[in-house]
């Protein structure tokens, strides 16, 4: 609560006397303002004040209001039907913050003459003064007692992820989960007049856990069925129902498997398997170079090349860990869930780190210096310590399978031309190699060779097949295996695959192993599209700014 020391009381008294004397010395006004139904108490909502003009005017700009701490929502004029002159003007006021307090100090003498003492009670009043000004002449004032202000939502925290109190709030959760929802209001100045919150009924089992002047905490038992509904509202009402604020709720109950994270330069967005936006992380990035998912727990790992950082988030987008003192320019990240390791490509260095909780512990024995920068890391998820990589400037791909006893092995693919990434699956490594994709095993044997692309921007192994995006021709392809390295497999072209049109610049593709579908990022269109194994669009996520990288969550339920 506001407090004030005695040294400020005299100036306030002098100022009050000055204001009252000024109002008395002015000539009688031509316009007498009136207030809300004869009441001078503001308890929320819109508060109309008006003047009935003794002398009508023909121009609304002649009429003005001096409104103190209040704001004018809108104005309305009464117009004489015959003359078209304005005969009255009403201003609809509201208050976002209280005016400075007015103090009333009462002193009461207590005790006997010999032990006399004084008890002082200080009362705070919040009063605002409103004037109408017509053609330069000021009306008598209306003094309004501010009793209550309808607060806004300052922030909402779902689980442990906080978002600001915008007009659209996203609430995302997994089916059957139990979590807290905390709603923090802008602090009310009058605790005796507390606001009322009404949560959407469609959210199901919500229990008020605790509340205070400005914080409401609910325990939410999430419904068991997936849902994506943007038709719900959270209502904030002031005491007595004089006014309300509505906040639109975008409720997403989704399964983790099949959802996708999409990266732009400085933002990460997550979509459910059905295309509903689940989370958006917009702060703390300069230039995201790579992202990876821990398929055991859904945690997201991010490297930022410009910021020299490594960051970990949970599946709702909560920041769990960040380090920016271990790397120079990290360009790639891959997660070994079997060995609980993180592999980081740091320009020309490839290093392995042990995951300790959400932080990294460097393994001194596992560091490799490469001749040129490393790109496109890919992990064999069913074998410990098995990572593939590409070295574009050296026209080489390689892998590490026994980091303790053996150095990396390099494979020189015939006619290789700046391989940009590797995707490992089903016992073979698919390499994006400019205008073709090539599948190889650890001996270097070519199991498939598919030509005819404009430029392969991304490749992703899928069951017994493979997805590839051609950013040059604006097309996505799906090829079905098996691929065994015979003549037919090594002389394939794009004509042998399923072609999917309708893209502008498909820059990244990420397969979902469970059903053979894939998420495709279209950079210029600013969207992510999910295709089934036959190339039909089954979901899409929009609202992206120049996205260029995505990774599908394979499991985690």
Torsion on CA atoms 16, 20, 21, 26, rounded to nearest 10:
140
Pick the residue with more confidence: 15 or 236?
236
The answer on pLDDT for 442 being more than 50 is yes
* Phi and psi angles of residue 202, each rounded to the nearest 5 degrees, phi first: -65, -15
pLDDT at 528 over 60: yes
pLDDT band at 238 (very low <50, low <70, confident <90, very high): confident
Per-residue pLDDT at 32: 59
531 and 411 inside one domain = yes
Residue 181: what pLDDT? 96
35 pLDDT tier (thresholds 50, 70, 90): low
Query: CA–CA separation, 220 vs 534, rounded Å?
Result: 39
245 lies in the same domain as 321: no
Q: What is the CATH number of the domain that holds 471?
A: 2.120.10.30
Is residue 13's pLDDT more than 50?
Answer: no
How many domains does the chain contain in total? Answer: 3
pLDDT value of position 29: 42
- 499, pLDDT greater than 60: yes
Note whether 537 and 409 are same-domain residues.
yes
CA-based nearest residue to 96, from 69, 65, 128: 69
Supply the pLDDT for residue 557.
63
Question: What's the burial of 325, exposed, middle or buried (CB within 10 Å: 0-12/13-18/19+)?
Answer: exposed
Is residue 244 domain-shared with residue 227, that is, in the same domain? Answer: yes
Confidence of residue 110 (pLDDT cuts 50, 70, 90): low
> Is 349 inside a domain boundary?
no
Least confident of 137-141, 379-383, 432-436, 540-544: 379-383
The pLDDT score that the predictor gives to residue 5 is 37
Domain co-membership, 190 together with 328? no
Boundary-marking domain end, from 203, 238, 253: 253
Q: In the predicted model, what is the mean pLDDT of residues 343-350?
A: 94
Instruction: Indicate the residue among 146, 166, 182 that finishes a domain.
Output: 146
Residues 51 and 84 in one domain: yes
Residue 17 has pLDDT above 50, yes or no: no
Residue 197's domain is classified under what CATH number? 2.60.40
Q: Is 121 domain-assigned?
A: yes
Task: Say whether both 304 and 429 belong to one domain.
Answer: yes
- With tokens 């002082």, the residue in question is 120
pLDDT band at residue 397, thresholds of 50, 70 and 90? very high
pLDDT digit string, tens, across residues 244-270? 889 999 999 999 999 999 999 889 999
Pairwise pLDDT comparison (483 vs 108), residue with the higher score: 483
**Are 22 and 169 members of one domain?**
no
Is 348 a member of any domain? no
Q: Which pLDDT score, from 0 to 100, does residue 34 have?
A: 64
Domain end (from 94, 113, 146): 146
DSSP structural state of residue 28: P
More reliable by pLDDT, 284 or 502: 502
Say if residue 124 is in the same domain as residue 177. no
Q: pLDDT (tens digit, 9 = 90+) per residue, 204-221?
A: 999 999 988 789 999 999
Whether residue 159 sits in one domain with residue 138: no
In a domain, 261, yes or no: no
- The length of the chain is 557
pLDDT averaged over every residue in the chain? 87
Q: pTM, whole model, 2 decimals?
A: 0.80
Average pLDDT over residues 184-200: 83
| Residue 236 tokens, joined | 């904030």
Residue pLDDT, tens place only, 419-441:
999 999 988 999 999 999 999 99
Per-residue confidence band for 12, with pLDDT thresholds at 50, 70 and 90: very low
307 and 409 assigned to the same domain: yes
Residue 381 lies in domain? 277-341+368-552
Please name the helix (run of DSSP H) or strand (run of DSSP E) that holds residue 409, with its range, or none: strand 409-411
Give the percent of the chain with pLDDT over 70: 89
Residue 502 within a domain: yes
134 and 222, same structural domain? Answer: no
pLDDT level of residue 39 (50, 70, 90 thresholds): low
In a domain, 350, yes or no: no
User: Does 169 have pLDDT greater than 70?
Assistant: yes
Within-domain flag for 1: no
> Does any domain span residue 396?
yes
Contact 421, 429 (CB under 8 A): no
Check pLDDT > 60 for residue 198.
yes
**pLDDT of 6 above 70:** no
């Amino acid at each position: 609560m506001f407090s004030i020391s005695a040294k400020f009381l005299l100036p306030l008294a002098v100022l009050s006397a000055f204001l009252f004397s000024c109002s008395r010395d002015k000539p009688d006004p031509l316009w007498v303002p009136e207030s809300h139904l004869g009441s001078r108490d503001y308890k929320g909502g819109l508060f109309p004040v008006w003047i009935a003009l003794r002398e009508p005017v023909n121009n609304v700009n002649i009429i003005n209001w001096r409104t103190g701490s209040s704001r004018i929502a809108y104005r309305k004029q009464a117009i004489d039907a015959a003359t078209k002159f304005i005969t009255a003007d009403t201003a609809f006021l509201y208050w976002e913050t209280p005016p400075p307090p007015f103090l009333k100090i009462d002193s009461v003498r207590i005790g006997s003459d010999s032990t006399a003492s004084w008890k002082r009670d200080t009362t705070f009043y919040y009063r605002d003064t409103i004037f109408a000004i017509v053609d330069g002449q000021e009306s008598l004032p209306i003094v309004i007692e501010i009793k209550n202000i309808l607060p806004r939502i300052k922030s909402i925290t779902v689980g442990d992820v906080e978002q600001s109190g915008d007009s659209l709030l996203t609430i995302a959760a997994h089916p059957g989960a139990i979590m807290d929802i905390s709603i923090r209001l802008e602090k009310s100045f009058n605790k005796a007049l507390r606001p009322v919150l009404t949560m959407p009924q469609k959210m199901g089992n919500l229990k008020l856990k605790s509340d205070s002047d400005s914080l409401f905490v609910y325990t939410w038992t999430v419904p068991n069925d997936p849902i994506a509904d943007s038709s719900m509202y959270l209502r904030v009402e002031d005491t007595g129902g004089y006014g309300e604020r509505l906040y639109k709720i975008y409720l997403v109950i989704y399964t983790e498997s099949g959802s996708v994270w999409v990266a732009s330069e400085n933002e990460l967005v997550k979509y459910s398997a059905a295309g509903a936006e689940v989370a958006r992380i917009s702060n703390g990035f300069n230039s995201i170079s790579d992202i990876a998912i821990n398929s055991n727990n859904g945690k997201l790992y991010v490297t930022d090349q410009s910021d020299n950082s490594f960051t970990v988030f949970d599946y709702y987008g909560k920041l769990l860990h960040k380090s920016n003192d271990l790397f120079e320019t990290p360009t790639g990240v891959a997660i070994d869930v079997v060995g609980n390791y993180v592999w980081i490509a740091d320009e020309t260095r490839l290093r392995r780190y042990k995951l300790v909780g959400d932080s990294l512990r460097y393994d001194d024995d596992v560091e490799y210096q490469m001749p040129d920068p490393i790109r496109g890391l890919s992990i064999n998820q069913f074998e410990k310590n098995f990572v593939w990589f590409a070295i574009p400037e050296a026209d080489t791909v390689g892998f590490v399978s026994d980091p303790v006893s053996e150095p990396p092995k390099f494979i020189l693919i015939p006619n290789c031309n700046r391989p940009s990434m590797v995707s490992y699956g089903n016992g073979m490594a698919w390499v994006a190699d400019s205008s073709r994709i090539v599948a190889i095993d650890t001996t270097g044997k070519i199991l498939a060779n598919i030509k005819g692309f404009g430029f392969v921007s991304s490749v992703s192994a899928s069951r017994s097949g493979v997805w590839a995006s051609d950013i040059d021709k604006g097309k996505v392809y799906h090829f079905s295996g098996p691929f065994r390295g015979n003549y037919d497999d090594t002389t394939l072209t794009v004509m042998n695959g399923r072609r999917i049109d309708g893209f502008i610049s498909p820059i990244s593709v990420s397969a979902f192993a469970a059903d053979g579908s894939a998420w495709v990022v279209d950079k210029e269109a600013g969207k992510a599209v999910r295709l089934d194994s036959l190339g039909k669009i089954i979901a899409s996520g929009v609202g992206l700014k120049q996205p260029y990288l995505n990774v599908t969550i394979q499991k985690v339920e």
